[in-house]
Structure 1
């Protein structure tokens, strides 16, 4: 399988990252090499490739700023060694003031970083099973949507919880993206309910391919992630899917299909801006009820 023109092979590396960055980097590298050996030209790893740990103190004891991050340097060398476009779904990198960024990197086959994206939407939720997450207490939210040109077409970058915000994906598609990346560490509970439908919806409503590498299984810090890395075509068909174990999935991507689907269902072209009529401060129906 070789990349030609508008057609290439994409791979998702599914992981089960733990507390030790060096071990996670080694495991990611092993799986990236497996994907490259299988013919992938673009390889995506999941959110938090370098570390998954609940403890804020443990996180900040382990992570480093981007310019001295050994994990990032290792992945740049890996891209050079394998000759793939390597998309690190995200790394936790230290910022000033005891804050971190949840940051994606797209690295070209020469090992150069060609795009960075900081996750915009923070996962601040209380789940019905008692799980509580407050990403905004640790991570600084991004403010800029990002696309990057690959040899075959334009890629739009998102991370995990971003998948619940269709306006971001539409903006990426309106700015030329025909592939949408959604690396994730979805919780097992929310993933079982929403993962497939959300990713397929983002593909259908934008006429884009969606590539989503995921974390999967029971992690060292006690969390469980859903796995099921997916590659979806612009018609919403699942081209490849993992289970919840670490591994690699691959699919051939023909980007000529994206404009074809967009012509058949011109949702991007037909979209219109609109206002929203405010509710009256005292609706007539409520006044009538008490009369």
Structure 2
């Protein structure tokens, strides 16, 4: 299967977990009606993007009402769902974690955000995820019927080594649920997705929450799909939206034959090594 219909659920996240889960469920059901094969939710889709809310909304994987609902929807509708991310609690630690469900509703991969969002942009925004979150330390490459996919979360996209490692492990699509803000989003969001797709000659997908002006953190939105040529196939605006996009994995082979970038690396001089 080389053609995949993606559904990008750019939902408005509010300070109400039950309402957020309901909104995600409705967008998933609408995606199914439109014959989506692979449905993607945004970073922290059940939780406002705020350190205090990460603590309040956190769930353990084993008894997570959020994950149980997404699992049931994946199984019922026989679709893949990448559950953007939720605040995951394990013992005394919190993680920003993404979960991938297969058509049977089974978790086949989980990614804990490796690079925590600690920034201080003068006169614009200061945020320090590391005040409450713990960084993950595992690369996430999942086997699906479409081939291998790589998963990162938001700030992870800025680190070129992570994308290259996933691609060297045969990932054909890179997913980064994210929530860039109104300072970094206009400057870097599209640029980074185009760059990672172009660098690695893969499809690169980002799904963000919609802009909620009533929230303390303002998400840029603009959920996006970029192709192996570094072009934007589809991109939303800041408003709540459900975006559909069909991609053809054969495009990867074509681009790599035209410009054999990965073959032309000087492995005799340099390489990316996983510790």
TM-score when scaled to structure 1? 0.88
Partner Cα distance (1:148, 1:170) in 2: 15
Q: Deviations over 1:153-197 (max 9, x none)?
A: 211101100111111101111110110001101111100011111
Distance apart, 1:267 and its partner CA: 2.0
> Aligned match of 2:109 in 115, 124, 138?
115
Q: Deviations over 1:204-252 (max 9, x none)?
A: 0100001111112125432211111001111112111111111211111
Q: Is the 8 A contact 1:181 1:210 kept in 2?
A: yes
Distance apart, 1:55 and its partner CA: 4.7
> Aligned match of 1:78 in 52, 65, 73?
73
Distance apart, 1:128 and its partner CA: 2.4
Q: Is the 8 A contact 2:55 2:87 kept in 1?
A: no
Q: Quickly say closer, same or farther: Cα 1:96–1:261, change in 2 above 3 A.
A: same
Partner Cα distance (2:165, 2:100) in 1: 19
Partner Cα distance (1:121, 1:147) in 2: 17
Alignment of 1:39 with 2:18, yes or no, is: no
Alignment of 1:27 with 2:18, yes or no, is: no
Q: Is the 8 A contact 1:16 1:219 kept in 2?
A: no
Partner Cα distance (1:55, 1:178) in 2: 33
> Aligned match of 2:91 in 92, 96, 99?
96
Structure 1 gap ranges (5+): 277-291
> Aligned match of 1:143 in 130, 137, 144?
137
Q: Which residue does 2:128 correspond to in 1?
A: 134
Q: Is the 8 A contact 1:232 1:239 kept in 2?
A: yes
Distance apart, 1:143 and its partner CA: 0.7
> Aligned match of 1:178 in 172, 178, 181?
172
| Higher Rg of the two aligned structures | 1
Partner Cα distance (2:4, 2:118) in 1: 36
Q: Is the 8 A contact 2:51 2:129 kept in 1?
A: no
Distance apart, 1:60 and its partner CA: 2.1
- Aligned residue-pair number: 270
Partner Cα distance (2:213, 2:154) in 1: 17
Q: Quickly say closer, same or farther: Cα 1:72–1:220, change in 2 above 3 A.
A: farther
Alignment of 1:238 with 2:222, yes or no, is: no
Partner Cα distance (1:129, 1:184) in 2: 22
Q: Which residue does 1:187 correspond to in 2?
A: 181
Q: Which residue does 1:209 correspond to in 2?
A: 203
TM-score when scaled to structure 2? 0.93
Alignment of 1:68 with 2:63, yes or no, is: yes
Structure 2 gap ranges (5+): 271-275
* RMSD (Å), alpha carbons: 1.6
Q: Which residue does 1:154 correspond to in 2?
A: 148
